[in-house]
Amino acid sequence: MNHASLFTFASPSELILEIPLNAQNQAWVESQNFSAYMNKLCLLAILPWLESEFTQQAKLAPSTTALPSLWELVNGCSITITDGTKFVLVPTEDIDLSELRVAQEWVDIPSWAGDYYLGVQVQPDEGFVRVWGYCTHAQLKNNLNYDATWRTYAIDSTAVTTDLSLLTIALEFCPQEITRSEIPSLANLTPAQAKNLISRLGNPEVITPRLEIPFSMWGALIENEGWRRSLYERRLGLPEQWFVMEWLQNGVSQTAQQFGWGSFDLQTATSGTRSVEQSGTIFARELTIAEQQYILSIVPQNEPEGIIWRFALRNAATNGLIPEGFKLRLLTEDLESFPNNQDVAVTAVEQLVVEVILEPGEGIIWEIEPIPENYDREILRF
Rg of the chain over Cα atoms, rounded to whole angstroms, equals: 23
Stretch (H or E) spanning 296: strand 292-303
pTM tops 0.85, yes or no: yes
Judge contact between 329 and 364, C-beta under 8 A: no
Judge contact between 98 and 128, C-beta under 8 A: no
Q: Give the Cα-Cα-Cα angle 207, 75, 47 (nearest 5 degrees).
A: 155
Between 225-235 and 191-201, two packed helices, what is the crossing angle to 10 degrees? 30
Helix residue spans in the chain (DSSP H) = 21-30, 34-53, 67-71, 105-108, 137-142, 165-173, 191-201, 215-223, 225-235, 244-250, 254-258, 266-269
Judge contact between 215 and 183, C-beta under 8 A: no
Judge contact between 73 and 32, C-beta under 8 A: no
Closest to 40 (Cα-Cα) out of 124, 126, 96: 124
Instruction: Please report the pLDDT score of residue 254 as a whole number.
Output: 93
- Bridge-based pairing of strands 281-289 and 262-265 is antiparallel
Instruction: Please report the pLDDT score of residue 272 as a whole number.
Output: 45
Print burial letters for 158-197: b (CB count within 10 Å at least 16), e (below 16): eebbbebeebeebbeeeeeeebeeebeebeebebeebbeb
Instruction: Please report the pLDDT score of residue 13 as a whole number.
Output: 64
Backbone CA torsion sign across 92, 96, 100, 103: negative
Tens-level pLDDT at each residue, the chain (382 residues): 333 333 444 455 678 999 888 888 888 888 878 889 999 999 999 998 888 887 667 889 888 889 999 999 999 999 999 888 999 999 999 988 999 999 999 999 999 999 999 999 999 989 999 999 999 999 999 988 999 999 999 999 999 999 988 888 888 888 788 999 999 999 999 999 999 999 999 999 999 999 999 999 999 999 999 999 999 999 999 999 999 999 999 999 999 999 999 998 766 454 444 443 444 789 999 999 999 999 999 999 988 888 999 999 999 999 999 999 999 999 999 999 999 999 999 999 999 999 999 999 999 999 999 999 999 999 999 9
Instruction: Please report the pLDDT score of residue 329 as a whole number.
Output: 98
Instruction: Cite the beta strand spans of 42-150 per DSSP E.
Output: 59-61, 77-80, 86-92, 99-103, 116-123, 128-136, 146-147
Give strand pairing partners of 88.
78, 117
Judge contact between 155 and 140, C-beta under 8 A: yes
Q: Give the Cα-Cα-Cα angle 69, 75, 81 (nearest 5 degrees).
A: 85
